[in-house]
């Protein structure tokens, strides 16, 4: 290296280990989608494949949320379970269905990391509870819901939620959910549009 090259190298900024966040109106992630193939890139993360059938359903819902938002001109990052980088958005939804070893012991639920998302949670609960005819668990009824790994990569000014649409291991709930997957996506999009409009 010449002396001049050394001076130039020292004067240029240090490369940052983390690229700047990407900006969108909404981030929509389909729970467990892309696994197990993506797990090898995230060895510290539990490679949770979800309840039986969950990986088939979450992309159907997430695709419809993204489609409905984009149709109204909103920008959407539509992500699988594992993705790179960080995001600065107005709102985010991580789509899941619950599974339980004791079938029909849970139902729909909502997870969020802190009180900055509690208004978003109230809004979603108010809308979904009008239709969902089974149990609706208390917010953050498991620690996993509060500390969902995806929250670390996404800052959402109007709220970031894990949305569990029902318990897929409960035959009655599964039967109710099965013909309504696109409708679920439209309902989530409806609520996210309200959240984006408020910001």
Can residue 96 be called a binding residue for Zn ion (CB under 5 A)? yes
Q: What is the DSSP letter of 13?
A: P
The rounded distance, in Å, linking the Cα atoms of 76 and 141 is 28
Residue nearest to Zn ion (CB): 96
Give the pair of three-digit tokens for residue 148.
């969902």
At its nearest, how many Å lie between Zn ion and the CB of residue 106? Answer: 12
Closer residue to Zn ion (CB): 78 or 96: 96
Decide: 25 and 74 in contact? Cβ < 8 Å: yes
Minimum CB distance to Zn ion, residue 188 (Å): 15
16 is written with which tokens? Answer: 């940052």
Q: How far apart are CA 34 and CA 45, in angstroms?
A: 14
Q: Give the binding range for Zn ion (CB under 5 A) out of 14-22, 95-103, 136-144, 168-176.
A: 95-103
Interface map 103-142 toward Zn ion (x if CB under 5 A): ----------------------------------------
> Would you mind telling me the total number of residues written for the chain in this entry?
199
Query: Of 49-57, 75-83, 126-134, 147-155, which segment contacts Zn ion by CB under 5 A?
Result: 49-57
Size, binding site for Zn ion by CB under 5 A: 3
CA distances for 75 relative to 37, 70, 154, 175, 188, angstroms: 27, 6, 15, 33, 15
Of the pair 50, 111, the CB lying nearest Zn ion is at 50
The one among 28, 29, 50, 184 contacting Zn ion by CB under 5 A: 50
Backbone angles phi, psi at 91, to 5 degrees: -150, 155
Residue 96: phi and psi, rounded to 5, are -145, 165
Stretch of residues binding Zn ion (CB under 5 A), selected from 25-33, 86-94, 150-158, 184-192: 25-33
Helix or strand (DSSP H, E) at 68:
helix 54-71
Nearer to Zn ion, 64 or 98 (CB): 98
- Nearest-approach distance from CB 50 to Zn ion, in angstroms: 4
Say whether residue 166 binds Zn ion (CB under 5 A).
no
| Residue 31 in contact with Zn ion, rule: CB under 5 A | yes
Query: For 27, phi and psi rounded to 5 degrees?
Result: -115, 130
Kindly list the residues in this chain that would bind Zn ion in the complex (CB under 5 A). 31, 50, 96
């Amino acid at each position: 290296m010449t002396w001049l090259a050394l001076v130039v190298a020292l004067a240029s900024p240090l490369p940052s280990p983390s690229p700047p966040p990407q900006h969108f109106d909404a981030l929509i992630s389909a729970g467990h989608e892309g696994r197990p193939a993506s797990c090898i890139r995230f060895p510290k993360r539990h490679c949770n494949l979800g309840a039986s059938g969950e990986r088939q359903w979450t992309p159907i819902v997430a695709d419809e949320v993204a489609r409905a938002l984009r149709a109204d001109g909103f920008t959407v990052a539509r992500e699988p379970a594992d993705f790179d980088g960080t995001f600065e958005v107005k709102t985010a939804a991580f789509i899941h269905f619950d599974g339980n070893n004791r079938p029909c012991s849970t139902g729909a639920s909502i997870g969020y990391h802190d009180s900055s998302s509690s208004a978003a949670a109230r809004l979603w609960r108010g809308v979904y509870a009008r239709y969902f005819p089974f149990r609706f668990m208390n917010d953050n009824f498991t620690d996993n819901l509060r500390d969902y790994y995806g929250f670390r990569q996404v800052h959402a000014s109007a709220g970031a939620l894990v949305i569990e649409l029902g318990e897929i291991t409960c035959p009655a709930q599964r039967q109710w959910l099965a013909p309504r997957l696109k409708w679920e996506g439209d309902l989530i999009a409806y609520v996210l549009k309200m959240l984006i409009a408020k910001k």
